[in-house]
């Protein structure tokens, strides 16, 4: 079979492809692609020549024409912004902090080969003296470390020197104040559902938050199938979350949509026992939810949906709760307060921190990780049952 070609040069047929092999700044300071043409007897051979060129380019650490800012933007929006291991909020923090402090700096327009540990350290020192908060510097250093690990992996930098940089120490707060619901406030919230106009649509959301300590994003991602009956009772399997997913473009613009996302960390994937109070409330919730889904013709999959069967937005839930608190005379606190209250009540009950950490899905140190694997289902269920006694 004859090779497929697409161009004839001096009477000889070739297959030609054009590929972007890098980026550079033009005289106007605007980023433009570096495009190179590759020829072969067929498409496969042309693609092989392109692959060999890029491999040789990487092996030679050809960074003489690579600028720090261009590479950083490419990595920031194509790699970091799509990293499933990082929460959406953390990605937003990383990108906004980087754009605020690093993008306007002098190193942004330097060739990569001119950047050294000393160059970045001097920038850190300058930022610190000109009012950049220590917390922002630590965030910058985290992003810088991730960026240089990427450069080393791509063989565009010989080594990651960010571990040698000196970042000002974070100021430790003398006392960390955790906002929680008081016993009286929580009692009023859980016993005033019928007083609200036409009841309170998010009644079961509040109940489930109270007795599980789930993050609001995790609660909104719970499906009916995630509640499972075992030989020791019902459990909730936390497997996903609902979050605003932001897509970043290379020009700095972004778009946001509501969707499902992986959980915050490996420890966030957990199984939480459910007590009788929760199961009674679930039956109430499911009854009216099933009737509404049938009447409005939407799929009954997620436990918490809008009246049209769509996923709930976190801010809309918080706003609905705020209106509910106003009707029942309770001062507003953010929805995350239920999670703080859950953890505080476990502590009040004397629940060991290992069981509490597992129930809340917190990341843990390597030492407590050893105890994590030995936490029994009976201990977790006992903790949940004790919680029911004081709420």
* Annotated domain spans of the chain: 7-59, 68-164, 183-390
Given pLDDT bands bounded at 50, 70 and 90, which one contains residue 58?
low
Is residue 223 within 8 A of residue 282, CB to CB? The reply is no
- Helices 68-78 and 88-101 pack at an angle, to 10 degrees, of 160
In this prediction, residues 162-169 reach a mean pLDDT of 84
Would you say residue 372 has pLDDT above 60? no
Query: What CATH number is given for 183-390 in this structure?
Result: 1.10.443.10
Examine the pLDDT at 297 and tell me if it is beyond 70: yes
> What is d(CA 336, CA 339) in angstroms, rounded to the nearest whole number?
5
**CB-count exposure of residue 106 (10 Å: 0-12, 13-18, 19+):** exposed
pLDDT of residue 272: 94
Residue 262 has pLDDT above 90, yes or no: no
Say if CB 26 and CB 32 are below 8 A apart: yes
Q: What is the mean pLDDT of residues 45-58?
A: 78
68-164: CATH number: 1.10.150.130
Give φ, ψ of 25 to 5 degrees: -100, 135
Question: Cβ contacts of residue 324 below 8 Å, gap of 6+?
Answer: 196, 200, 202
pLDDT at residue 275 tops 50: yes
Average pLDDT over residues 50-64: 63
pLDDT at 343 over 90: no
Angstrom distance (rounded) from CA 158 to CA 71: 15
Half-sphere exposure of residue 256, counting CA atoms within 13 Å on the CB side?
A: 8
* Cα 210-213-214 angle, rounded to 5 deg: 115
Q: List CB contacts of 153: < 8 A, sequence separation 6 or more.
A: none
**More reliable by pLDDT, 364 or 190:** 190
Residues above pLDDT 70, as percent of the chain: 84
pLDDT band at 185 (very low <50, low <70, confident <90, very high): very high
Lowest mean pLDDT among 289-293, 319-323, 335-339, 376-380: 376-380
- Residue 356: pLDDT over 90: no
Higher pLDDT, 110 or 220: 220
Mean pLDDT, residues 129-140 = 90
**Mean pLDDT over the full length of the chain:** 82
CA dist 193 and 210 (Å) reads 14
- Sorted by sequence, the CB contacts under 8 Å of residue 28 that are 6+ apart come out as none
For residue 21, the SS3 value is strand
- Which pLDDT band holds residue 240 (cuts at 50, 70, 90)? very high
Rounded to an integer, what distance in angstroms lies between the CA atom of residue 63 and that of residue 72?
Answer: 13
Count CB-CB contacts under 10 A for residue 69: 18
- 78 vs 186: which has the higher pLDDT: 186
CB atoms within 10 A of CB 1: 3
Which runs of E-coded beta strand occur in the chain?
7-9, 12-25, 31-40, 227-230, 233-238, 241-248, 254-261, 270-273
**C-alpha closest to that of 217 among 363, 357, 94, 315:** 315
Contact 31, 25 (CB under 8 A): yes
pLDDT given for residue 225 in this prediction: 97
Query: Which tops the pLDDT comparison, 286 or 161?
Result: 286
């Amino acid at each position: 079979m004859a090779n497929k070609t697409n161009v004839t040069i001096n009477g000889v047929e070739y297959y030609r492809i054009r590929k972007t092999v890098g980026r550079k700044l033009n005289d106007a300071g605007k980023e433009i692609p570096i495009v190179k043409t590759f020829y072969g007897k067929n498409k496969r051979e042309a693609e092989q020549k392109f692959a060999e060129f890029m491999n040789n380019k990487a092996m030679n650490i050809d960074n003489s024409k690579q600028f720090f800012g261009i590479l950083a933007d490419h990595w920031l929006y194509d790699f970091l912004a799509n990293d499933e291991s990082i929460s959406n909020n953390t990605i937003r923090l990383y990108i906004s902090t980087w754009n605020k402090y690093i993008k306007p700096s002098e190193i942004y327009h330097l060739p990569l080969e001119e950047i050294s540990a000393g160059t970045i350290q001097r920038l850190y020192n300058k930022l610190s003296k000109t009012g950049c908060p220590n917390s922002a510097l630590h965030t910058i250093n985290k992003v810088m470390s991730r960026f240089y690990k990427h450069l080393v992996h791509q063989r565009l930098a010989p080594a990651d020197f960010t571990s040698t940089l000196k970042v000002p120490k974070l100021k430790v707060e003398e006392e960390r104040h955790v906002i929680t619901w008081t016993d009286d406030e929580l009692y009023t919230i859980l016993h005033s559902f019928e007083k609200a106009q036409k009841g309170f649509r998010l009644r079961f959301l509040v109940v489930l938050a109270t007795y599980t300590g789930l993050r609001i994003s995790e609660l909104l991602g719970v499906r009916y199938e995630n509640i499972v009956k075992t030989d020791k009772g019902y459990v909730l399997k936390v497997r996903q979350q609902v979050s605003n997913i932001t897509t970043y473009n290379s020009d700095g613009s972004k778009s946001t949509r509501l969707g499902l996302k992986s959980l915050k960390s490996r420890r966030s994937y957990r199984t939480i026992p459910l007590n009788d109070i929760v199961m009674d409330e679930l039956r109430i919730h499911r009854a009216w939810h099933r009737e509404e889904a049938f009447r409005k013709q939407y799929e009954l999959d997620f436990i918490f949906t809008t009246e049209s069967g769509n996923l709930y937005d976190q801010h809309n839930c918080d706003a609905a709760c705020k209106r509910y608190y106003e009707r029942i005379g309770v001062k507003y606190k953010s929805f995350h307060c239920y999670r703080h209250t859950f953890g505080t009540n476990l502590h009040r009950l004397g629940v060991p921190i290992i069981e509490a950490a597992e129930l809340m899905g917190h990341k843990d140190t390597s030492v407590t990780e050893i105890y994590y694997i030995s936490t029994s289902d009976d201990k977790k269920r006992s903790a949940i049952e004790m919680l029911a006694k004081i709420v």
